[in-house]
Structure 1
Amino acid sequence: MITKAKRLKNIGKFYDFSSSANDLDWHKNTFVFAPNAYGKTTFVNVLRSLRDNDPKLIRSRKTLGAKANPEAVIAIGGVNHVFDGSRWDKPHPDIQIFDAPFIQANILTHEIGHEHKKNIHKIIIGEQGKKLAEDLSALKTKEKAKSQEAANLVAQFNRGGFTLSIDAILAIPAAEETAVGERIQKLEQDIKSKESEETVQKLGYPRLMAAPSFDLSGAKALASKKLVAVHEAAEREVLAHIDHNFKDKSQARQFIRQGLDAMQADCPFCGQDLKNAADLLKAYREFFDETFRAYQQGIVQQLTSIEKWNLDNDLTALISLHNANLATVRQWEKYLGEMKLSDFATTVDRYSAGLAASKGRVLSELEKKQKDPNADADLSPIDALMAELAALKAVADEYNNEVSAFTEKAKQYVASLPKSDVVSIRADLTKQQEIKKRFTLEWKRWATDYSAATKDAGALQSQKNAKQKELEEAGKTIFDTYQKRINELLGTLGTDFAITGLTGKTDERANESYSDFGFLILSQTVPLTTRQEEAPCFKNTLSEGDKSTLAFAFFIAALEKTPVLDKQIVVFDDPLSSLDETRREATARLLLTLSPTVNQLNVFTHKRDFLHMLCDKMPENKTLQVRSDKKHGSQFAVLDMEEDRKSAHARLIESMERYLGEDFGPTAETMQGNLRKLFETVLKTKYYRVLASDIKAKHGLATLLTTLFVAGLVDVVIKPRLFDLCSVANGSHHGEIVDVTARHLTRDELLPLIREALDLVHKV
């Protein structure tokens, strides 16, 4: 509640007003009287500036010629709100104002345009509806901006050269970021392979290595034998022959011996004595055993075979084969990548000297056995040669495993050559490259931004639709209720018109809401506007007073729906214009009804009679007035309603009583004339019906008294005194007693006459 206007300086006609006196405190119902142009509207503008936190409303009303900045201090609820010339230290939004700017902004006195329709719409839908409309407008703006952001991202995508769709790009799993690289490499290799397929098909494969080998088992067996062993073998064969061919085996040895006795004493071959059977058998074993001859032949054959074995050629062939394999492998490397074979040439070099030496030693041992079959042979060279050949073969086997693995890989490569043509592979490669591109920093950021933008746009779209529906549902009730209430108020205010068809509409292009309605006058609907100049419409049908009343009804209806109405300070600046004389009583009753529901009711008016009505209906009030003079400008002051409401008759009596004790200013001539006025007023009021014709004929006091005495309505006892006073009074004014010389009395002469008049006035 406004408790006081403490300071108003350099604002309009408020040159330098300040107030600290308690008698200027504002109350729950505060009424301010001020003639037009005294500054009441200026003060209301100060309150509007405080409400809207708009310094321009005060600065634009800076006192003409003032050098200092405007200042204002308004106390609300015990808290000072200070305007320092540039801004308010704290605004107070809970102020509702009905004044000319409200009417101009909403119900223009000439015609209602689109801006008025928008303002009316804001009034109708109220704070809750306004909040819904503002929320909807904000959502539309956000949704439009977010949709544009998404559209810009789509345009960026289209410029990115993708063949995949946006959905396809966004659907790519995150795991593809690492997996796609291998696929691209394979496809690139497939293209190379496909382009070189004919060449690949003609490529050869590396060959297996055949390690040098020589069967030394026979040589080793022959070298390890002696003739003793041959004799033993021959003896076994002779005994076997005896067992097979002689009946009497016990006589066989004797038979052979006797047969041999017939021969010369010495053997014809070797010259040995054959008489002894043991010698016979020995000679037999040594010279006639087939096995012996075979042994000799075997030694010769082994020597010949080893001598013919060209170990150097075999080793050189291995190196040549290895080098050929290396050349073949290098031809495959561009398709299979870098491949390696063991360095078999170095291995051959490492083994060749040892093999040659071992071979020589084996020949030496066999030659020795050839000369002396019973000589003890050294088998280690044979074993060494066999071991070296086995070791070389083992290395060759490992080498061959490498060759086989390489050959298998090469054959698999050939088998896996893509069946598709290069064009198809390139198309697939393009797709994979787009997938890879999707995971670059630029397009990762794009995907994040696009997903967020589309998600936000979708959410805002849903919110906008929901808010639109909420506003529409609220609007159905609001507009029906509002139209009904406005028409009730118009009826209370005594208008002969009503509004009809009140609806909310939306200008989709401007994203603005507005209200439209018409008027029902004499059962005919009249629109707000019409294209036909002569057709009835708001502009040419409603009077200016009707338009002002319509604005008042709009304001009251909107005010009643204001949230926390009990916290609102309501200000009316001249709710009745000079065109609203017929609606004073109804307006006062509406304000009486409104008062208990608001935090404070403040009414500024230039109409005394309306002010008196308000005071009659709301006795609990504070009345102030704005006084103004050229020197001090406008000032708030207390307005004594009892004094203000006194009739001229009461004031006349008070001045006469005061004159008895104080010569306070009026002249004796004036007070002498007041004697006539005193009685005329009482008689005309009390006996109006009897004196009506005299009053109409403008007869004077003497005639009025005569009529009353004739009618017997006044006591004849006081007749002489009354006519005597009448004669004194008529001298200074007009009257019918023209033959009486006017008597100009002094103050002292008048005093007893005034006392007598004040006494007689109660007796007529």
Structure 2
Amino acid sequence: MLERFQLLKNIGQFDNAAAGAHFPSLTRLSLVYGENGRGKTTLAAILKSASTGDAARVMERQRLASPNQPEVVLTVGGANRTFQNGAWNVVSPEVVVFDDAFVAANVYSGIAVEAGHRQNLHELILGAQGVSLNATLRGHVARIEEHNKTIRQRENAIPAATRGTLTIDNFCALPNEDDIDAKITNAERALAAARNAQAIQARAPFIAPNLPAIDIGQINPVLGQTLADVQADAMARVRQHLARLGKEGEEWIGKGMGYIPAVQQPDGTELCPFCEQDLAASPILQHYQAYFSEAYDALKTNITDSGKSFSDAHHRDIQSAFERAVRELSENRTFWGAYIEMPEFTLDTAAMVRSWNAARDLVLRALRAKFSAPLDVIQLSDEALAAVADYDRQRRAMNEAVAPIIAKSADIALVKEQAAGANAGTAEANLARLHLIKARHSEPVNGLCQAYLDEKAAKLATEGLRDTARDALDNYRQNIFPIYQQAINDYLQRFGAGFRVDAVNSVNNRGGSSCTYNVVINQVAVPVTANEGASFRNTLSAGDRNTLALAFFFASLEQNAQLANAIVVIDDPMTSLDEHRSVATVQQIRLLLARVRQVIVLSHFKPYLCEVWKGANANERSAFLVRRDGQGSSIAEWDVRQDCITEHDKNHAVVAEFIRTGDPALERQAATALRPMLEAYLRVAYPEDFPPSTLIGPFINKCTRRAGTVTETLDQANIAELRELKDYGNNFHHDTNPAWQTQQINNQELTNFCQRVIRFTRR
């Protein structure tokens, strides 16, 4: 018998609950009450884990935020059963648990019965001997699954892509070929060419991108050109004057020189076009005539033409064409790379364009400076020369990168010729065959083929053992299943269920064995699974499904050969049960107590536990409370009697105590209790005339109308007495007296009315 929870540490709501005042001893019937979320289901999970040794049921409830593993110590039969470091020191198979996990494992986990539920129910029905036979069968089934797993692993060790459509057996028979890698490479390219013959024929040849050169040898002569016949002093005088005129002065004077002939006098005298003064005496005019000569115009024209020619040769549209040409070359290289070996090609066009723009802009800047001062000797700056040199280096690097690609034109012509007459299907089949041959004759595939065949032979032998074990189990099941079906239906009848089970039988499946059954409702057999129409899912309520689970559980106990030593744990049997079945469940628990070593019932429903308590032997029962303790929970004794007392009982006790003692401290409690006592009495004594929610006033009116007739409820004396009692009691209730809490109370008067209420309710 489970005597005590000695330690609950780091599990669920239990932080560190140790043995002591809060851990009372359990008895043959132990009731455990706890609100939802306080930890009673954790206790059931602990006991289930102790019964099977399944550590996961404890470990999965490790206390949140706790760095330490759960620890549990139970006292069973005078000895401690300890869970520590993720394991029990001793397993307790005598513990049998009904909880949500039992329902989910054997009946349903949602609203439908699945294959796993029927397999678990199958073991539940078989009992110890049948489970042993079934374990032997399932052991062979498990080994077959291991064989299958190993076979799949060894099959999967050879990549599916290398086996193609061949089976493993046919794959292992492929002959070897020499130079397989070279053959595969050529076959891959031939297939790619055959599939894209049209695109290959349409693809244009390589075109090398072009960048215009910057010829310093052509630029420098233009920048250095001047007029040799213009005397130095004349040039200096003109330039000095032009400097005073400022920007565009040279252009202005150059144009003005053209207007002098227009104002020339008949006698040949040349006048100023602006002021008409005689220019013969002007010394600077001679300098102007030498400076702005035809040679000067020719020089400016040459400078202008050179600048325009350079600008046109390095126009920004040419840059866009260059970038487009590089992109097309890269795309063509990628395209042809699928059919022939292609050299690597990387070109930073952005860097080239930056270099190009830098050189171009600096040269144009020099040409513009020359245009502004045609007779000056202009030289390219060091920055310009460096930019041009960098640009030339970029052009050479581009040509070196492009040359190997352009050289592939002959190979491309051969690919086009071969693709024109190729058959894609034949090429694909040839490539697939070569891949299969290489895979088959590459290590470790050769060894894996033999291992695969060996595992298949081992599986065949195990299948023979499985068939023998299944025959032995079938012979046993023919007797046990009808007995279990009858036991289930007996319990369903005791629980007041409106259905029964039929055709409880076993079926063999790939996983071993399973259980199938029908639910019979209104003499109609409903299968537990169905794709459409009536089924377990849509014909049974939640209460019906839990009732079925309880029936399965109690019926399974009938097959337990060690039932007399069993510790039966039942967690929340009232979950989803209809109210009318609670009495039957209480009765079955009382009957079960006489047949087992101990019964432990856990619930969050106090009235249900009170019913179990009332009918139990006082010397064999105990009750406990899973209560809040700081941030966690602890276990303490539970005074069931206080929770079993009704409100009417409490009111009557207060009034009786006040009558006995006259204690002023009880005055207001006693006064407030009088009216509820009258209402409770009237509901029991006159249920038809005083249903719930009826007020005493309307009831008195009804009694007054009936007084002296054949339907009389109360005579006039009792009506008068009830009215006086009601009027006095109303003084102490908020709905009839807003000042009820401060209503003055006379101790003697209250005693008199308390005695009268007691007498009236004893009529």
TM-score (norm 2): 0.52
Q: Does the Cα contact within 8 Å between 2:39 and 2:626 map onto a contact in 1?
A: no
Give the match for residue 481 of structure 1: 483
Structure 2: how far apart are the matches of 1:683 and 1:15? 50
Alignment deviations for residues 725-745 of structure 1 (CA, whole Å, 9 cap, x no partner): 544322233788x99999812
The one-letter amino acid of 1:564's match is Q
The question of whether the paired residues in 2 share the 8 Å contact of 1:38 and 1:626 is answered with no
**Partner SS, residue 487 of structure 1:** helix
Alignment CA distance shift 1:139-1:485 (3 Å): same
Structure 2 equivalent of residue 305 of structure 1: none
Secondary structure of the equivalent of 1:540?
helix
Q: 2-side partners of 1:756 and 1:598: how far apart?
A: 50
**CA distances 1:444-500 after superposition (whole Å, capped 9, x unpaired):** xxxxxxxxxx9xx99x99976664333211100111222222222223322233322
Instruction: Write the letter of the residue equivalent to 2:123.
Output: K
Superposition map of 1:168-183 within 5 A: none
* SS at 1:494 equivalent: coil
Q: What runs of 5+ residues in structure 1 fail to find an aligned partner?
A: 150-453
Aligned pair partner of 1:572 in 570, 573, 576: 570
Q: How many residues align?
A: 453
Change (3 A) 1:33 1:708: farther
The CA distance in 2 between the partners of 1:46 and 1:641, in whole Å, is 24
The amino acid across from 1:539 in the alignment is R
Q: Residue 545 of structure 2: which of 535, 544, 547 is its match?
A: 547
Please show how residues 82-101 of structure 1 align to structure 2 within 5 Å. Answer: 82-101=82-101
Distance 2:583 2:115 in 1: 33
- Residue aligning to 2:43: 43
For residues 14 and 603 of structure 1, what CA distance do their matches in structure 2 show? 19
How far does residue 704 in structure 1 lie from its aligned partner after superposition? 8.8
Cα distance, 1:761–1:544 mapped onto 2, change above 3 Å: same
Q: What CA distance in whole angstroms lies between the structure 1 residues aligned with 2:741 and 2:86?
A: 68
Residue of structure 2 in register with 1:501 after alignment: 503
The alignment partner of 1:530 has SS state of coil
Indicate which of 579, 582, 589 corresponds to 2:580.
Answer: 582
Aligned match of 1:635: 634
Amino acid at match of 2:473: L
Give the Cα–Cα distance (whole angstroms) in 2 for the partners of residues 610 and 650 of structure 1.
Answer: 19
Give, in whole Å, the separation in 2 of the partners of 1:50 and 1:557: 22
SS of residue paired to 1:518: strand
Residue 597 (structure 1) aligned with residue 595 (structure 2): yes
Partners of 2:519 and 2:58 lie apart in 1 by 37
Supply the distance in 1 between the matched residues of 2:614 and 2:489 (Cα, whole angstroms).
27
Structure 2 residue aligned with 1:652: 651
Q: What percentage of aligned pairs have identical amino acids? A: 25
Residue 499 and residue 723 in structure 1: after superposition, are their counterparts in 2 closer, same or farther (change >3 A)?
A: closer
Counterpart residue identity of residue 580, structure 2: T
Counterpart code for 1:17:
A
2:547, 2:692 → 1: CA distance? 42
Letter matched to residue 73 of structure 2: V
Q: Secondary structure at the match of 1:597?
A: coil
Tell whether the 8 Å contact from 2:49 to 2:57 is kept in structure 1 after alignment: yes
Structure showing greater Rg: 1
Q: 1:507 to 1:702 in 2, by over 3 A?
A: closer
Letter in 1 for 2:131: K
**C-alpha distance in 1, partners of 2:106/2:113?**
8
Could you tell me whether the CA contact under 8 Å between 1:527 and 1:538 is conserved in 2?
A: yes
Residues 1:700 and 1:71: Cα distance change in structure 2 (over 3 Å): farther
Q: CA deviation at 1:97?
A: 0.9
> Structure 1 residues 125 and 757, CA, compared in 2 at 3 Å: closer, same or farther?
same
1:72–1:84: 8 Å Cα contact kept in structure 2? yes
The equivalences for 1:5-24 within 5 A come to: 5-21=5-21, 24=24
Q: CA deviation at 1:685?
A: 2.9
The alpha carbon displacement at 1:134 in A equals 0.9
- The Cα of 1:56 is off from its aligned counterpart by 2.7
Change (3 A) 1:62 1:705: farther
CA shift, 1:2, in A, is: 0.9
Paired position in structure 2 for 1:682: 681
In structure 1, what residue type is equivalent to 2:507?
K
User: Corresponding residue for 2:259?
Assistant: none
What amino acid maps onto 2:643 in structure 1? D
Structure 2, unaligned stretches of length 5 or more?
151-456
Are the structure 2 counterparts of residues 562 and 706 from structure 1 closer, same or farther at C-alpha, using a change threshold of 3 Å?
same
Q: What are the Cα deviations for residues 152-195 of structure 1, in whole angstroms up to 9, with x where unaligned?
A: xxxxxxxxxxxxxxxxxxxxxxxxxxxxxxxxxxxxxxxxxxxx
Find the aligned partners of 1:740 and 1:67 in 2 and give their Cα distance: 57
Question: What is the alpha-carbon distance in structure 2 between the residues aligned to residue 555 and residue 632 of structure 1?
Answer: 35
For the Cα contact (< 8 Å) 1:627–1:634, is it kept in 2? yes
Give the deviation of 1:667 after TM superposition. 8.1
Retained in 1: the 8 A contact 2:570–2:601?
A: yes
CA separation of 1:761 and 1:113: change in aligned 2, threshold 3 A = same
1:144 Cα offset (Å): 11
**C-alpha deviation, 1:713, in angstroms:** 5.7
Shift of 1:608: 2.9
Displacement of 1:700 in angstroms is: 6.7
| Corresponding position: 1:73 with 2:60 | no
- The offset of 1:584, in angstroms, is 1.3
Aligned to 2:136: 135
Deviations 1:399-439 (A, max 9, x none): xxxxxxxxxxxxxxxxxxxxxxxxxxxxxxxxxxxxxxxxx
Q: In structure 2, what is the Cα distance between the partners aligned to 1:62 and 1:666?
A: 49
The match for 1:294 is none
The match for 1:729 is 729
Task: Indicate how the Cα distance of structure 1 residues 742 and 611 shifts in structure 2: closer, same or farther if over 3 A, else same.
Answer: closer
Cα deviation, residue 47, structure 1: 0.8
Structure 2 counterpart of 1:541, one-letter code: T
Shift of 1:45: 0.7
Q: Secondary structure at the match of 2:744?
A: coil
Secondary structure of residue in 2 paired with 1:611:
helix
Computed over aligned residues only, the root mean square deviation of the Cα atoms, in angstroms, reads 4.4
Whole-angstrom CA distance in 1 between matches of 2:703 and 2:480: 67
CA distance in 1, matches of 2:85, 2:21: 24
Partners of 1:102 and 1:656 lie apart in 2 by: 49
2: CA distance between counterparts of 1:490 and 1:93? 27
CA distance in 1, matches of 2:742, 2:499: 63
- Matched AA of 1:575: P
Counterpart contact for 2:8–2:14, Cα < 8 Å: yes
TM-score, length basis structure 1: 0.52
Deviation at 1:79, TM superposition (A): 1.3
Aligned equivalent of 2:298: none
**2:625–2:636 Cα contact (<8 Å) kept:** yes
Is structure 2 residue 744 aligned with structure 1 residue 745? yes
Deviation at 1:101, TM superposition (A): 0.9
**Residues 2, 76 of structure 2: 8 Å contact kept:** yes
Look up the equivalent residue of 2:49 and give its one-letter code: S
Distance in 1 separating the partners of 2:472 and 2:587: 36
Residue 115 of structure 2 corresponds to residue 114 of structure 1: yes
Distance 1:704 1:676 in 2: 18
Per the alignment, do residues 78 and 715 of structure 1 end up closer, same or farther by CA in structure 2, a change over 3 Å counting? farther
- 8 Å CA contact 1:669–1:744 kept in 2: the answer is no
CA distance in 2, matches of 1:683, 1:648: 15
1:731 & 1:477 partners in 2: Cα distance?
Answer: 73
State the alpha-carbon separation in 2 of the partners of residues 663 and 633 from structure 1. Answer: 43
What is the SS of the residue equivalent to 1:699?
Answer: helix
> Alpha-carbon deviation of 1:663?
11
Distance 2:732 2:513 in 1: 72
Pair 1:751–1:69, CA change in 2 (3 A): farther
CA–CA separation in structure 2 for the residues paired with 1:662 and 1:733: 24
Superimposed CA distance per residue, residues 692-734 of structure 1 (whole angstroms, 9 cap, x where no aligned partner): 4897465279769978997696895x99887665443222337
- Aligned partner of 2:60: which letter? S
CA distance in 2 between counterparts of 1:144 and 1:648 reads 63
Give the Cα–Cα distance (whole angstroms) in 2 for the partners of residues 694 and 540 of structure 1: 36
| Alpha-carbon displacement from aligned partner over 1:488-542 (angstroms, at most 9, x marks no partner) | 222332223332222222224x4x21122223333333223234x3x22222222
Which residue is equivalent to 1:368? none
Question: 1:756 and 1:144 mapped to 2: Cα distance?
Answer: 82
Structure 2 CA distance for partners of 1:679 and 1:743, relative to 1, 3 Å: farther
Answer yes or no: is 1:104 the counterpart of 2:104: yes
